[in-house]
Amino acid sequence: MNPKPTFTGIIPPLVTPLLPDFTLDSFSLEKILNHVIDAGVHGVFILGTTGESPSLQQKIKIQMIRETCKLVNDRVPVLVGITDCSMGNSLELAEMAKNYGADVLVAAPPFYMNISQEDLEKYYRDLANRTELPLLLYNIPSHAKTPLEIETVERLSSHPNILGIKDSTDSKEYLSQLSETFRPHSDFILLMGPEERLLDALQHGFSGGVSGGANAFPEVYVKCYESFIEGKKEKAREYQNLIWEISQELYHHVSHPSSYLKGLKECMKLSHLSGGILSPPQRSFTEEERQTFHKKFERIKSKIHKFLEE
């Protein structure tokens, strides 16, 4: 097993840019990667929820791994999502990630079958035993159905190839329990998923955030993190308030389960970073929704630019 890597900071869960035929948009992928890396992000996470991984073909996922690793070219760590209902598919992605030069694997629980905590623990141990790259647990019960209970995470943390957890529960109680449980074990990495809780997580000792909005507005998230690390707590709070406004204005534009992704991908389109196409069964905004969204986007973009210039 490789030594456990240590990393901190803002790690965007990268959107997967798609062409109208739902194949990978390689040109846009390069633009997005340069956009976030030039803004100072500390890593990139591909093939997660924001990357629409469950609805992508396996060959598209492998292409995404290969091209991302090549384009990043060791500038920042690359984290690769390998979540799947099939252990074989997860292991294939893990092998591709290793071969193409990624740094870390990320796996949420398999999301279809009913799984006990005992079975889930055995699953993760088997996965970690059979992969060469270190593994990050990913708790997202809103999508994966089965939660990673604190006691399960604590037992799994002793595995030499499991380096930490990404918490996407959006639960302040779970956040606090993770912080309390792993405070004596600073080598176990804690990353926050929902960006609305980024600063709260940092204050609880988390290592960083996997923030979706950092695809479109990476400077805001990087400066929030850096301000906190530098002890500029009031400035960090101002950035967090701006992140909250981004969330409320752009991720909740319509009353729809996929409102977050619709909004984020439309942001990428309006920023001239990608075409904004979602993978089926999800669909982009209607034309009427898009027109009203554009006004919100321009207002938020203007506010961000003024704030960053201060």
Catalytic residue list contains 124: no
Cβ-based neighbour number of residue 292 at 10 Å? 11
The active-site residue out of 61, 166, 262, 265 is 166
Among left, alpha and beta (phi > 0; psi -120 to 50; other), residue 131 is: beta
Q: Active site includes 138? A: yes
CA-to-CA distance for 79 and 210, rounded, in angstroms?
11
Phi then psi for 124, rounded to 5 degrees?
Answer: -65, -40
Catalytic residue, candidates 31, 61, 124, 138: 138
On whether the CB atoms of residues 71 and 33 are closer than 8 A, the answer is yes
Q: Where are the beta strands (DSSP E) in 140-264?
A: 162-167, 189-192, 208-209
Q: Which residues contact 75 (CB under 8 A, 6 or more apart)?
A: 37
Burial class (CB in 10 A: 0-12, 13-18, 19+), 259: middle
Helix (H) or strand (E) holding 137: strand 135-139
Q: Tell me which residue of 16, 11, 36, 90 sits closest to 58, measured CA to CA.
A: 90
Nearest to 251 by CA among 241, 237, 239, 265: 265
Residue bearing tokens 């534009």: 253
Which of 77, 66, 149, 79 has its CA nearest to residue 107?
A: 79
Cα-only R_g, the chain: 18
Both tokens assigned to 260: 């977050």
- Cβ contact 120:110 at 8 Å: no
Do residues 31 and 191 lie in contact, with contact meaning Cβ atoms separated by under 8 Å? Answer: no
Catalytic residues: 138, 166
